[in-house]
Amino acid sequence: MPQPFPTIAKQKHPLDWSITPNSQALTELAKGIWDCAVQTNQRPLVLLSTAGPLIGVRAALEQHRPKDLPSKIAFLPQVISFADWLEAAPGAWKFPKKQSDLERWLSVYINLRKHPKLKAWFKAESNSGAWGLAQAVIDACDALSELVVPQLQDELNTLLEAHSLDAQAWLKKVELVLDQAVAKAYVGLSRNIVDEESAVLLTFWRYLTSIGDPIIRKHLAMATHLQAAKENAKNSPGTARPFIWVQTADPKPVDQELIDSYLREYAQYATVVRVSLDWQTVALWPEALCGQDAEGEIVIADTSEEQQVERNINSSRHEGWRLLAARRFEELAWVAAKSIESHLVDKKKNIALVAQDRLAARRARALLSRLGNSLRIRDETGWKLSTTRAAAAFDSLLELIRAPKEGPSANVLLEFLQNPYFDLARSLQNSPQVCVDLITQLEDILLASQAKSGWETFIAAIDKANGYASTHGGSPNEQFIKLIQFAKKLHLAWQSPLLECSSAYAQLQNSLEEAGMAQRLEKDAAGKQLLEVLKRFDLSGGPYKDLKMRLPEWLSLLKTVIEEAAYEEAGKEAEATLSILPLSSTRLRGFDAVVVIGCDEQQLPAFSEPPLFFSDALNRYLKSSTITAQYIQQARDLSQLLVTCKSVDLIWQSKSKSGEPLRPSAWIQRLQVVLKKKIPWEVVEVKLKPFEGQSQPIQKSVSIPDLDLRIPTTVSPSAYKALRDCPYRYYVSNLLGLRKVKEFEEGFDASLAGQTLHALLRNFFQALKTEEKKSHSTIHGGSDARRQWMIEHLMKFSDKEFEKLIAGDARILGTLRDWQKQIPSFVDWQLKRENEGWRYHDAELSVGFTLSITDPNGIKQDIRIAGRADRFDIHESDASAAAVIDYKNQKIKKITQRAENILDDPQLLIYARGATENPVEARIPGREVEQAEWVTLRADVKDAEKIVRVHPVEDMPAVMAEFSEQVVNDLNDLWARKPMKAFAPDSVCQYCEARGVCRKGMW
Ligand code: SF4
């Protein structure tokens, strides 16, 4: 039976009224508030202890507005949450400035620096861990303040007038209270540990507590509201607005005491009604009915209470409860999504998804997103801003900023450049047309040369690519260098050892502006909120503006603050709304249907993380929230939800990750036991229906090139090798042009070193040729002098070529040193070669030959087989002899294996035939290549006597004849579009990019 609203007379104490938290609760409350308005002929002020039911209460008031109200009370009573009411305190502008969370963290930081004892305690923490701990310290200090500040109400009142506070006396009281708390809670524990912990916390409390703390501001705000009521009662008697306090959730004991004494005082100046919730006919478990006693223990229910609970269960709307079990996580989310869909089909408009299991709720949300705009999803569980695209883009900038002074890794750089908020055209001050594909091309360049990190490495890679383009008929693109320089400038601006907090913020804004990110973030909903969060770092006008910290500390603080921030989705009109919320947010709210996901024994009830510094017993002493209080509150919230809502789906995962069976929450099991006596409440096992089909064994992949598929008329040595290795691979990579997305490999890649060695050898031999022309050069002073000159200069050339790479990645120094150990023996090999009459002639020349093929249509096709030879030598005494050399940055053993399969990898044969057939192109007119050799740049130099530097192609005329016949056959088959089969030894398949296409391993 609903309790009638009390009759208001001239009481000087709060009137108590309770409502039943069932489906009629809001109606009952609204009627009571209107009753109060009518009785007092004043517009009541209604304060809700939690903000959740705010809209529901206003709507109910509107709906139940009595007819023919006097004009004075015709307006809707003012309904406001407690937090908003505190903010609206009269004269709040006079209060000490409110400290933001960031400022409080910074004060922890400053105190850590000032006090070595505290620093030692924090020593083990990383930057981000330290900021997390700072938050825990602040929470603990607030818990202490909550206990202590009410005892200081008189001092606070004085403070209101005098703006001063005897902090020392205050601290003494706190110390006393904490000592008592510690003594009571930690009896039996080692005094040392307890003492250290409490001493550290007290020290923090002493240093951190300021009148800008939220707890102290709360008390100041309450005191000013009271003062205003007092003055109003004095100046205009009989006009005080009734004050209705609605206790929507069980308060912490410390808050209960505070609000009780406040209401008592307020009742001296105005009508005060305290509205509480009556669980008598709603509680579905004894703990929800009886609550806790003064000692914080659950009250044991007597027989009549147990009978009452049973009556409540039996009279509840249990026909609308469904108990659904899913075995796996995916099924769990799927069941939730399906339940919500079925409610939507039943035309339910206002649905709640209670996220006991947040992960599964997120997954269900993702599954529901396919319903599009017809369903509006409001996530009240706090969608983190850090999970948005805008925050990820911003993070890419922070990663660039925090890179070491040599420069970022290529991945970090590309991540930043590819973020969708980076405005390339603006950054380069160029037109968007010029910038098309620029970043993709840059990525290709860096990948091709495996330039993994460092500004100098990136520039060297671009120089090489530009150099290659200019010598091969392309045009070098200066925009690459401009782009790297832009990013480098952005990065270098952050390279000071210590940052001043205020200038760091200005600098960050600058960086965002320069990269065009500020403008783009401004146009995006999440971006806008991100920029708002960043504004908190504008400390220019505050006490921390000169605070200095190291860049990693500042960046970590920035990331922690963003991590804490929630993203608020913009509302949009839709046919139905799904609210994803925690159980506590369902209080006094009406929904057409509710789906609770995660109702297993591990997640329902769910307890908040225990405070880092206080045990549950100490919390109890400090009158904070305890596990028992949370347990009772959740039992009440769930009772209210089940009793209020017509349709509730309780879903749980019946198997844990480790495969162990999981039962539903004990609360659900207890309901099952009671309901069993009447009608069984069955669990519905939900299973995804498997799709059935018959598979056929996969056969070896074979493809016949389509007639429309263009076959390239130029074949490089590597393409020909691919064709020989596996025709299917050639089909995938060369005919279809499919490429695997390249990645930067771990560790330093040898290909960049290989390219550098090739370049420095070319430069060295060209310099040698020039030197030989100088008649007075020391090079003409005998073989020792020539050897000396060669070693010295090859060393110098090596240092110079590698210099930039080492600046970008110091690990490359090892590669240089390894190569420099090779130089003496390399020079010896060169001298030996010279003694045999061979002279270096030219390097890196493009050579090839042309074959004529007739395709199936009878059309003659000229196929050019060509590549770039590393080096040509000519013979001094034989005017018709030339040799081709291929440098290999490989051990001689690998080269020997290569030589054994020369017909499948005929690179040297292609150069030799190309140069012989086109001597002018190879710049050896009148000569024929009669010698072809591989030269290792990684010979084993441990034993000077056994060094093997070179491996020649043996029996070249015979091999060449065989190759010439083979290549014609291969190309004829290709142009005849014969089936191209996947076939290769595992050694080839191991590194094959087409493996995913040919499905080797499945057949
Ligand atoms: S994985 Fe082996 S069989 Fe398959 S395409 Fe590559 S090389 Fe050929």
Q: Which one has a higher pLDDT value, 669 or 154? A: 669
pLDDT tier for residue 613 given thresholds of 50, 70 and 90: low
| AA identity, residue 613 | F
According to the model, what pLDDT value does residue 157 have?
63
d(CA 319, CA 579): 23
- Give percent of the chain with pLDDT exceeding 90: 48
Nearest in space to 630 (alpha carbons), one of 650, 610, 612, 648: 610
For residue 896, how far is its CA from the centre of ligand 1 (angstroms)? 24
Nearest atom (ligand 1) to Cα of 732 = 5
pLDDT tier for residue 751 given thresholds of 50, 70 and 90: low
Nearest in space to 704 (alpha carbons), one of 979, 325, 987, 955: 979
For ligand 1, mutation pick of 733, 995, 1003 (most atoms within 8 Å of CB): 995
Angle at 313 between CA 584 and CA 296, to 5 degrees: 50
Would you give the DSSP letter of residue 710? P
The 10s digit of each residue's pLDDT in 537-553 is 888 777 788 888 888 88
According to the model, what pLDDT value does residue 188 have?
40
Helices 25-40 and 54-63 pack at an angle, to 10 degrees, of 60
According to the model, what pLDDT value does residue 120 have?
67
According to the model, what pLDDT value does residue 715 have?
92
| Helical (H) or strand (E) element with 719 | helix 717-725
pLDDT tier for residue 171 given thresholds of 50, 70 and 90: very low
Nearest in space to 223 (alpha carbons), one of 280, 188, 266: 266
According to the model, what pLDDT value does residue 192 have?
40
d(CA 118, CA 990): 56
For residue 735, how far is its CA from the centre of ligand 1 (angstroms)? 15
367-379 average pLDDT score: 86
Whose CA is closest to atom 5 on ligand 1?
A: 729
pLDDT higher than threshold 50 for residue 167? no
d(CA 364, CA 997): 33
Nearest atom (ligand 1) to Cα of 729 = 5
According to the model, what pLDDT value does residue 57 have?
95
Any idea which of 95-109, 245-259, 821-835, 870-884 has the lowest mean pLDDT?
A: 95-109
- State if residue 728 touches ligand 1 by the CB under 6 angstroms criterion: yes
Lookup: tokens for 951:
């491996």
For ligand 1, mutation pick of 703, 734, 989, 999 (most atoms within 8 Å of CB): 989
901-908 average pLDDT score: 93
Nearest atom (ligand 1) to Cα of 725 = 7
According to the model, what pLDDT value does residue 4 have?
86
d(CA 291, CA 253): 13
For residue 717, how far is its CA from the centre of ligand 1 (angstroms)? 18
CB 385 within 8 A of CB 533: yes
d(CA 308, CA 301): 10
According to the model, what pLDDT value does residue 826 have?
95
According to the model, what pLDDT value does residue 126 have?
58
Any idea which of 151-160, 422-431, 696-705 has the lowest mean pLDDT?
A: 151-160
pLDDT higher than threshold 70 for residue 734? yes
- Give percent of the chain with pLDDT exceeding 70: 89
- State if residue 980 touches ligand 1 by the CB under 6 angstroms criterion: no
Nearest in space to 625 (alpha carbons), one of 249, 878, 944, 275: 249
158-184 average pLDDT score: 52
Burial profile 806-824: b = 16 or more Cβ within 10 angstroms, e = fewer = bbbbeebeebbeebeebbb
- State if residue 927 touches ligand 1 by the CB under 6 angstroms criterion: no
According to the model, what pLDDT value does residue 1002 have?
78
For residue 1000, how far is its CA from the centre of ligand 1 (angstroms)? 6
Q: Which one has a higher pLDDT value, 129 or 774? A: 774
Q: Which one has a higher pLDDT value, 202 or 968? A: 968
107-127 average pLDDT score: 68
- State if residue 170 touches ligand 1 by the CB under 6 angstroms criterion: no
According to the model, what pLDDT value does residue 599 have?
95
- State if residue 998 touches ligand 1 by the CB under 6 angstroms criterion: yes
According to the model, what pLDDT value does residue 191 have?
43
Cβ contacts of 998 within 8 Å, gap of 6 or more: 701, 728, 729, 732, 982, 992
CB 949 within 8 A of CB 825: yes
For residue 969, how far is its CA from the centre of ligand 1 (angstroms)? 21
The 10s digit of each residue's pLDDT in 483-521 is 999 999 999 999 887 888 888 999 999 999 999 999 999
663-679 average pLDDT score: 88
Any idea which of 142-156, 194-208, 312-326 has the lowest mean pLDDT?
A: 194-208
Other beta carbons less than 10 A from residue 515's beta carbon:
25
